[in-house]
């Protein structure tokens, strides 16, 4: 499979997944929506491994890392900002639902930070213990 067919395959999988996922949620079949998501990921993985040639070069990989890191920073900032805002405003207005939503956003952002640190440690592990300082 060449690059253009790969991108067409990914677009078709994403469109089919969006339709199936939305229809399953509207109909009330939450488990079907979840299973369809995992099947779509599996299909994308299979398409990726059938590609002959290079999809990404080193420059695009670096750019992809920078974009992912900036997206993570913006998402964490927004979750922390709205989480603190919900907790404070919900406490002042005595709205338990807003306080619960705020604590959920704060715990979610804490989990993402923890996951980021775990992945960072796993990525840096091969470079540890290589010898003393010279």
- pLDDT tens digits along 24-68: 989 988 888 889 989 998 998 888 888 776 666 667 777 778 888
Mean pLDDT for 88-96 is 89
Rounded to an integer, what distance in angstroms lies between the CA atom of residue 38 and that of residue 40? 5
**Model confidence, pTM:** 0.47
Residue located via tokens 């907790």: 87
Rounded to an integer, what distance in angstroms lies between the CA atom of residue 91 and that of residue 40? 41
Cα 65 to chain centroid distance, Å, stands at 13
Answer whether residue 72 shows pLDDT above 80: yes
The predicted pLDDT at position 23 comes to: 92
Residue count (the chain): 134
């Amino acid at each position: 499979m060449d690059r253009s067919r790969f991108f067409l395959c990914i677009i078709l999988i994403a469109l089919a997944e969006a339709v199936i996922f939305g229809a399953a949620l509207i109909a009330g079949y939450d488990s079907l929506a979840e299973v369809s998501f995992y099947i779509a990921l599996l299909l994308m993985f299979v398409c990726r491994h059938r590609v002959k040639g290079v999809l990404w070069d080193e420059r695009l990989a670096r750019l992809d890392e920078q974009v992912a890191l900036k997206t993570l920073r913006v998402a964490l900032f927004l979750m922390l900002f709205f989480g603190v805002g919900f907790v404070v405003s919900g406490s002042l207005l005595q709205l338990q639902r807003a306080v619960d939503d705020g604590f959920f956003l704060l715990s979610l952002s804490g989990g993402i930070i923890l996951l980021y640190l775990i992945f960072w440690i796993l990525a840096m592990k091969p470079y540890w213990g290589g010898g003393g300082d010279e």
